[in-house]
Chains A and B, each alone.
Chain A
Amino acid sequence: MLNDEEVRAIAAEARLSLHGDELAKAVRYINNFLGMVDRFKELDLKDVPPFCFAESTECPLREDVAAPFPRVPDILAARSQSLDYAGAFRVPRIVEE
C-alpha cells in the first residue's frame, strides 16, 4: 500500500502534478493496481525466463547509408514560432534541484 506522499512523488517523477481529489483518486487507483498485480506472488517464477519477444527473430541490421530525411522543414514546422535564430528548440529554465 502506498500513501499520498509516495504516490505524489511517483507522479512528480512522471512529470505529472495532481491537484485536489486527483491525488486521492490516483492513490486509490495505484493501490488497486498493486493489489491486482500482487497476485503474481502466488506463482513460483524463479526459473521462468522473461518474455521479451513473441517471435524468436534476431534484430535485423540496416546498411550504413546516410540518407537524409527529405522533409526536415515539416518537422520544424511544429514549433516555427519558438525556434531560435539558428533553428534550435527553446526550453525553459533548467533548475538543478
Chain B
Amino acid sequence: MHHKEKLEFTPVIGIEIHIQLKTRSKIFCSCAADYTNDEPNTHICPVCMGLPGSLPALNGEVIRQAMRAGLTLHCRILPTTFFFRKSYYYPDLPKGFQITQSDLPIAADGWLEIHDDAGRPKRVRVNRLHLEEDVGKLRHVTADGRIEGASSSFVDYNRSGLPLAEIVSEPDISSAREAVEYVTTLRRRVLHAGASDVDLEKGMMRFDANVSLKCSDGRWGNRVEVKNMNSFRALERAIEYEVKRQGSILAEGGEVMRETRHWNDARGVTTGLRVKEFYRKFIVEPDLPPLVITKEQVDEALASLPEMPEEKLVRYVGFGLSEGDAAVLIEEPAVARYFEACVTAGANPLRAGNWVRTEVLRVVNDAKVSADMIAVSPEALASLLAKVEDGGLSTTLAKSVFDALLDGLSFEDALKRSGASDGAVDVHALAASVVAANPDVVAEIRSGKDTKGKKVKFLVGLMMRESKGSVKVDEATAALEKVLA
C-alpha cells in the first residue's frame, strides 16, 4: 500500500485593510466626516445620498492623506490616476455604484517590515493603496443584529461618502501571528502619521483576510476570503481556524471551495455565506477627470510625515529603555509625544519611561482621554521626577503628588496635600499618603490581624522616613490612627 507522507501546509495569507482617512469632510461632499453618536441620517446631502442630479467633488485633503498613508507604507505615488464606478445593487450603496479606484491606484508597490514566527525580520509587500467612498450602515432587526433571519433592516447614510483607503497586501503573510503583526504595525504607522485615527471600535479600520494553503505535495488550495473580524484577536483566531479547516479538507484529499466566509466570533468558526458568484461591472467614472499629482505634492506629503514608531523605538532604546518598555510608549503617538516632551524638559529617560508607561497610561486608559489632554503636562512631570531624582521625594509621595496635580492643584498645593512640602509637614496628609500607598498592609491592620502592632509601626516608620525625621513618632502614630479609624 502506498504510504502517505504526513502533509505539511504553509498558509498563504493576504490582508485587505480599509482605513478611514482623517479629514474634516467626506470624500465627495462637504458633510462632516465626524458623525459619531449622532442621530442617523443627519450628516447627509444630495451628493452622499446619491440624489438624482448630484455630482461628486473631490476633497483635496483626502488625496494628501492617502499619499501620506501610502508613503508610510513605502509606496510610490502614481502621477496620474482615475476613478471608476463599481456597480452593484445594495441598499447601503445610494448610487447603486461605488466610486473607487481600480487599475490605477493612488499608491502602489510598497512594503511593511514585520517578523516571521521565528523572530526574523521579513517584508510584506503592499500591492496598492487606493481610494474609495464608504457606504451607508445597515442595521438588521433581529436579536443579535445579524443578517440571517432579519425581517427588515434600516439604513443610515451618515457613513456614506466617508473617505476610505483600501490597502491590499500581497499574500506574503504566513501565519495568524504575522497577520496580527502586519495589521498592528500598519495601524501604528498610519496613526503616527496622522493619516487616520484608525479607531477599531468606531469602524475606522476594517480588515479582511484571504487565506489559502500550499501543500507540501505541490497542491495549492483555493483562496477563501474571510470577513467580519472586528478585532486583532478575532483576526488571529479566524485565520487559525481557517488554516485548520482548510488543512483538514486538503489532508483528506478534498478540495477547498473558493468562497467568502464570515467569522462568527461567538461560536469561533467561519461560516460560508452561500452567495452566488456575482460580478461587479466597472466603467470609468465620467464625472471625475483624471487626478494628477505633482512631484511637489508628493514631496510636501513626505516632508509632512513625523518620525515613525520604529525610528522612535530605536531612539528610546538608545536612551536606555528596554525594547519592551519602548514598545509600549510608541503605541500611541500622543503618549510618545508626551514621553519625548518629558525627556526634553530634563527628566531622566528611564524614570520618565516608567512613569509614562504606568501613571500616564493609566490616566489615558481610565479616563479615555488623549495624553495631550491630561492635566499634568510633560514639563510638570519632569519637575516632579527631578525632585524624585535628587532624593527629595520618595516614589510613593511623588505618585500622590501626581494624583493631586491631576486634580488640578498647583505644584505647591499638590506637594502640600501629599504631605511632602518643603515647609512644615502636614502629618495628616502624610499619613493619608502612606495609607493609600500600602493597601495590603492597611487591610491587614483593619482586619485585626496586626495583633503585635508591627504593621502600624512599619507604616509609622515610612512616615518618619518621608518626613526626614521632622515629625515626632507619637504625632505620626496619632495621625495614622486617625486615618485608619
Q: Do chains A and B touch in the complex (CB under 8 A)?
A: yes
A residues with CB within 8 A of B: 13, 15, 50, 52-53, 55, 57-69, 72, 75-76, 83-84, 86-94, 96-97
Give the residue of B49, B150, B289 whose beta carbon is less than 8 angstroms from that of A53. B289
Give the residue of B45, B61, B279 whose beta carbon is less than 8 angstroms from that of A69. B45
Contact A50–B152 (Cβ < 8 Å): no
> Within the assembled complex, what's the spacing in Å between the Cα atoms of A72 and B41?
8
Can you list 14 A-B pairs, Cβ within 8 angstroms, ordered by A? A59-B290, A59-B291, A60-B57, A60-B289, A63-B60, A69-B45, A72-B42, A76-B41, A86-B39, A87-B42, A88-B41, A89-B154, A89-B157, A94-B150
Q: How many A-B residue pairs have CB under 8 A?
A: 133
Contact A59–B292 (Cβ < 8 Å): yes
Q: Is B63 an interface residue (CB 8 A)?
A: yes
- Interface segment among B28-36, B220-228, B326-334: the answer is B28-36
Contact A64–B60 (Cβ < 8 Å): yes
Given contacts A52-B284, A58-B291, A75-B46, are A68 and B32 in contact (CB under 8 A)? yes
> Within the assembled complex, what's the spacing in Å between the Cα atoms of A69 and B26?
12
- Interface segment among B270-278, B312-320, B354-362: the answer is B270-278
Closest to B273 in A: A96
Q: Is B91 an interface residue (CB 8 A)?
A: yes
Contact A88–B63 (Cβ < 8 Å): no
For chain A, what secondary structure do more than half of its interface residues adopt (helix, strand, loop), or is it mixed?
loop
Contacts of B25 in A (CB 8 A): 62, 64-67
Residue in B25, B44, B83, B154 with the greatest tally of chain A CB atoms within 10 Å: B154
> Within the assembled complex, what's the spacing in Å between the Cα atoms of A76 and B42?
10
Q: Is B465 an interface residue (CB 8 A)?
A: no
Tell me which residues from 241 to 291 in chain B have a Cβ below 8 Å from any Cβ of chain A.
273-276, 279, 284, 286, 288-291
Contacts of B39 in A (CB 8 A): 86-87
> Within the assembled complex, what's the spacing in Å between the Cα atoms of A91 and B152?
6
Contacts of B60 in A (CB 8 A): 61-64
Give the residue of B49, B51, B59, B151 whose beta carbon is less than 8 angstroms from that of A64. B59
Given contacts A50-B284, A66-B25, A93-B151, are A88 and B40 in contact (CB under 8 A)? yes
Closest to B64 in A: A64
For chain B, what secondary structure do more than half of its interface residues adopt (helix, strand, loop), or is it mixed?
loop
Contacts of B57 in A (CB 8 A): 60, 62
> Within the assembled complex, what's the spacing in Å between the Cα atoms of A93 and B142?
11
Q: Is B169 an interface residue (CB 8 A)?
A: no
Contact A61–B41 (Cβ < 8 Å): no
Q: Is B78 an interface residue (CB 8 A)?
A: no
Contacts of A60 in B (CB 8 A): 57-58, 289
Interface string of B290-315 (1 = CB under 8 A from A): 11100000000000000000000000
Contact A88–B155 (Cβ < 8 Å): yes
Contacts of A61 in B (CB 8 A): 58-60, 63
Closest to B32 in A: A66
> Within the assembled complex, what's the spacing in Å between the Cα atoms of A15 and B90?
11
> Within the assembled complex, what's the spacing in Å between the Cα atoms of A67 and B49?
15
**A-B pairs, 9 with minimum CB distance:** A61-B60, A69-B45, A64-B61, A88-B154, A66-B32, A67-B30, A58-B292, A91-B91, A88-B40
Q: Is B43 an interface residue (CB 8 A)?
A: yes
> Within the assembled complex, what's the spacing in Å between the Cα atoms of A41 and B423?
96
Closest to A57 in B: B289
Contact B153–A94 (Cβ < 8 Å): yes
Closest-CB distance, B314 to chain A (whole angstroms): 34
Q: Is B24 an interface residue (CB 8 A)?
A: yes
Give the residue of B31, B46, B152 whose beta carbon is less than 8 angstroms from that of A93. B152
Contacts of A76 in B (CB 8 A): 41
Closest-CB distance, A92 to chain B (whole angstroms): 6
Closest to B275 in A: A96
Contact A97–B58 (Cβ < 8 Å): no
Give the residue of A13, A53, A59, A67 whose beta carbon is less than 8 angstroms from that of B58. A59
Give the residue of A13, A75, A83, A88 whose beta carbon is less than 8 angstroms from that of B49. A75
Given contacts A89-B41, A97-B275, A97-B276, are A52 and B290 in contact (CB under 8 A)? yes
> Within the assembled complex, what's the spacing in Å between the Cα atoms of A52 and B288?
10
Residue in A58, A59, A72, A88 with the greatest tally of chain B CB atoms within 10 Å: A59
Contacts of A66 in B (CB 8 A): 24-25, 30-34
